[in-house]
Amino acid sequence: MKDFELTIEQTTGRAAMSFAASDSLFNNVYLSLVVKKGSWWLLPNFGSRIHTLRKNTAGTLAADYIQEALAWLKTSGRARDIVVKTERVSTAHGMTRLNALITVQRPNSEPVKFSLFFPLV
Protein backbone atom coordinates (compact mmCIF):
# COMPACT_ATOMS: atom_id res chain seq x y z
CA MET A 1 0.00 0.00 0.00
CA LYS A 2 1.45 3.38 -1.01
CA ASP A 3 0.89 6.59 0.97
CA PHE A 4 2.21 10.12 0.76
CA GLU A 5 5.43 10.50 2.70
CA LEU A 6 5.47 12.20 6.11
CA THR A 7 8.64 13.52 7.71
CA ILE A 8 8.95 14.76 11.28
CA GLU A 9 10.63 17.99 12.40
CA GLN A 10 12.78 16.76 15.31
CA THR A 11 12.50 19.83 17.57
CA THR A 12 8.72 20.34 17.36
CA GLY A 13 7.49 16.83 16.53
CA ARG A 14 5.28 18.19 13.74
CA ALA A 15 4.91 16.36 10.45
CA ALA A 16 5.32 17.70 6.94
CA MET A 17 3.82 15.85 3.99
CA SER A 18 5.47 15.53 0.60
CA PHE A 19 4.05 14.03 -2.56
CA ALA A 20 6.71 11.32 -2.64
CA ALA A 21 5.23 7.83 -2.49
CA SER A 22 6.01 5.76 0.57
CA ASP A 23 5.10 2.25 1.67
CA SER A 24 6.32 2.89 5.21
CA LEU A 25 4.10 2.21 8.19
CA PHE A 26 5.20 5.56 9.59
CA ASN A 27 2.21 7.46 8.18
CA ASN A 28 -0.18 4.93 9.70
CA VAL A 29 1.50 5.07 13.10
CA TYR A 30 1.90 8.86 13.18
CA LEU A 31 -1.65 9.68 12.09
CA SER A 32 -3.13 7.06 14.42
CA LEU A 33 -1.42 8.77 17.34
CA VAL A 34 -1.84 12.49 16.54
CA VAL A 35 -5.46 12.44 15.37
CA LYS A 36 -7.74 12.87 18.38
CA LYS A 37 -9.97 9.84 18.79
CA GLY A 38 -13.49 10.66 17.67
CA SER A 39 -12.51 13.74 15.67
CA TRP A 40 -12.52 12.19 12.20
CA TRP A 41 -16.07 11.94 10.91
CA LEU A 42 -15.36 9.09 8.51
CA LEU A 43 -13.99 6.74 11.19
CA PRO A 44 -15.07 7.91 14.66
CA ASN A 45 -12.98 5.21 16.40
CA PHE A 46 -9.78 6.21 14.56
CA GLY A 47 -7.13 8.11 16.52
CA SER A 48 -5.79 8.19 20.04
CA ARG A 49 -6.49 9.57 23.47
CA ILE A 50 -2.89 10.68 24.03
CA HIS A 51 -3.98 14.33 24.00
CA THR A 52 -5.85 13.66 27.27
CA LEU A 53 -2.68 12.70 29.17
CA ARG A 54 -1.28 15.04 31.80
CA LYS A 55 2.17 15.40 33.36
CA ASN A 56 1.30 13.11 36.26
CA THR A 57 -0.11 10.32 34.08
CA ALA A 58 1.21 6.83 34.72
CA GLY A 59 3.37 5.43 31.93
CA THR A 60 1.24 2.31 31.63
CA LEU A 61 -1.80 4.39 30.69
CA ALA A 62 0.18 6.10 27.92
CA ALA A 63 1.33 2.74 26.55
CA ASP A 64 -2.26 1.46 26.71
CA TYR A 65 -3.52 4.47 24.72
CA ILE A 66 -0.84 3.91 22.08
CA GLN A 67 -1.69 0.20 21.82
CA GLU A 68 -5.37 1.09 21.52
CA ALA A 69 -4.72 3.61 18.72
CA LEU A 70 -2.55 1.17 16.76
CA ALA A 71 -4.70 -1.95 17.24
CA TRP A 72 -6.21 -1.52 13.77
CA LEU A 73 -2.78 -2.27 12.23
CA LYS A 74 -3.01 -5.80 13.64
CA THR A 75 -6.65 -6.40 12.75
CA SER A 76 -6.09 -5.15 9.19
CA GLY A 77 -3.07 -7.44 8.71
CA ARG A 78 -0.53 -4.60 8.39
CA ALA A 79 1.25 -5.68 11.58
CA ARG A 80 1.80 -8.93 13.44
CA ASP A 81 2.73 -7.39 16.79
CA ILE A 82 3.19 -3.97 18.39
CA VAL A 83 5.50 -3.29 21.35
CA VAL A 84 5.35 0.07 23.12
CA LYS A 85 7.79 1.55 25.65
CA THR A 86 7.16 4.99 27.14
CA GLU A 87 8.90 7.41 29.48
CA ARG A 88 8.17 10.89 30.78
CA VAL A 89 10.99 13.38 30.34
CA SER A 90 11.40 16.95 31.59
CA THR A 91 12.95 19.20 28.96
CA ALA A 92 15.40 22.04 29.49
CA HIS A 93 12.55 24.52 29.03
CA GLY A 94 10.57 23.16 31.99
CA MET A 95 8.12 21.22 29.84
CA THR A 96 7.23 17.57 30.29
CA ARG A 97 6.89 15.26 27.34
CA LEU A 98 6.13 11.64 26.71
CA ASN A 99 8.74 9.76 24.70
CA ALA A 100 7.45 6.66 22.97
CA LEU A 101 9.49 3.91 21.35
CA ILE A 102 7.19 1.78 19.23
CA THR A 103 8.22 -1.39 17.43
CA VAL A 104 5.79 -2.68 14.82
CA GLN A 105 6.46 -6.17 13.53
CA ARG A 106 5.31 -6.50 9.93
CA PRO A 107 3.53 -9.70 8.83
CA ASN A 108 6.84 -10.95 7.37
CA SER A 109 8.39 -10.54 10.89
CA GLU A 110 10.44 -7.47 9.89
CA PRO A 111 10.56 -5.07 12.86
CA VAL A 112 10.02 -1.36 12.17
CA LYS A 113 10.93 1.08 14.96
CA PHE A 114 9.35 4.45 15.58
CA SER A 115 10.42 7.08 18.09
CA LEU A 116 7.91 9.85 18.75
CA PHE A 117 7.26 12.36 21.50
CA PHE A 118 4.17 14.13 22.74
CA PRO A 119 4.02 17.23 24.96
CA LEU A 120 2.18 16.75 28.26
CA VAL A 121 0.32 19.62 29.90
86-121 pLDDT, tens digit each: 988 887 777 888 889 999 999 999 999 988 888 887
* Helix H or strand E segment including 105: strand 96-105
Domain boundaries, the chain: 3-120
- CB hemisphere CA count around 32 (13 angstroms): 17
Within 8 A by CB and 6+ apart from 15, the residues are: 6, 7, 8, 9, 30, 34
Specify the higher pLDDT residue, 57 or 60: 60
Q: Between 3.30.1380.10, 2.130.10.10, 3.10.450.40, 3.40.1280.10, what CATH number should domain 3-120 receive?
A: 3.10.450.40
**Please, what is the average pLDDT of the chain?**
83
